[in-house]
Amino acid sequence: MAKDTIASFYKFTSIKNPKELRKIATKKAQDLKLKGTLLLAEEGLNGMISGAAENIEAFRVFLGSQKDVGELRFKLSYYDDVSFRRLLVKVKKEIITIRQDLDPTVETGHYLDPLEFEKWYEEGRDMVVLDTRNDYEVAMGTFEGAIDPNIKSFEAFTTYIDEHLAELQGKPIVTFCTGGVRCEKATAYMLKKGMKDVYQLEGGIISYFEAMKQLAKEGHWKGECTVFDKRKAITKDLEPSSKQICYVCLHEMKGEEVAEEEGPGGEICKSCDAKTKASQGVRQERGKLKAQANQLSRKAHLKG
């Protein structure tokens, strides 16, 4: 099987008619046989798609030709299997949800090149390294000495900042996330709250991995990195994880935690398997009740 090329990308830019862009982007992606997710909003776009390498490039050129989008940088990785099961192009209020009035095109943290970030580590720079990701992502891996805000969703990051504002002041703060998009808004919020000397790892963890791999350096990352495709996590060498990871909750599973049967997305933990089956049972029961109600309604109509 040919390798699946996976492209992750985002851009904050004013999109006047995201619904129209959704229509033409969906058709183009379907024509190119691409799968994955593309989120569109008036504030920009955020996507992770996969397919043949030449088709990924054709889609990049297509999006870049749209006047509201312009030049896009695709971060590429590869997988020996199908990365996504379907194509989903959605219009949302935000391309990364934080529910705050922020505009990263106006104000966001300084971009810190991965090599410069590594240099800061090697120099022993007095800095705060702040993870902006969710708790299950941090559990898979994080930077040496990084602060874990212990959040369940990105929206909760603002609460963490509000509660720790004073203790985070006084040192350079370097935020990081998987590909960079969360840090754009995270640092925008931090600046809005009056914080100074705020940085974001340019290109995110993925770009850091790429930089360390090119230099054959170990770097300061501990563990693996959660990704949101069929790989579920990748190593520092950008290879798919060999760990058993539940495709629903994305937590690593021990042998006794793995459900006997796989779900539609692969291996699943017993807890998520039980919840999924219970949810399916509720939906099936609702479907039966709806069908019965429709049947009674038809009978009543015929009698009338």
Whether 177 sits among the annotated catalytic residues: the reply is: yes
Read off φ and ψ for residue 79, nearest 5 degrees: -150, 140
Residue type, 50: S
Contact yes or no for 203/179 (Cβ under 8 A): yes
Q: How far apart are CA 286 and CA 98, in angstroms?
A: 33
**Residues 6 or more apart whose Cβ sits within 8 Å of residue 229:** 6, 36, 48, 50, 79, 83, 84
Annotated catalytic residue, options 177, 183, 225, 269: 177
Q: Burial letters for 196-216: b for 16+ Cβ neighbours within 10 Å, e otherwise?
A: eebbbbbbbbbbbbbbbeeee
**Residues 6 or more apart whose Cβ sits within 8 Å of residue 200:** 108, 109, 110, 111, 112, 174, 175, 176, 180, 183, 184, 186, 187
HEC letters along 35-52: EEEEEEECCEEEEEEEEC
Contact yes or no for 220/118 (Cβ under 8 A): yes
Please identify every residue annotated as catalytic.
177
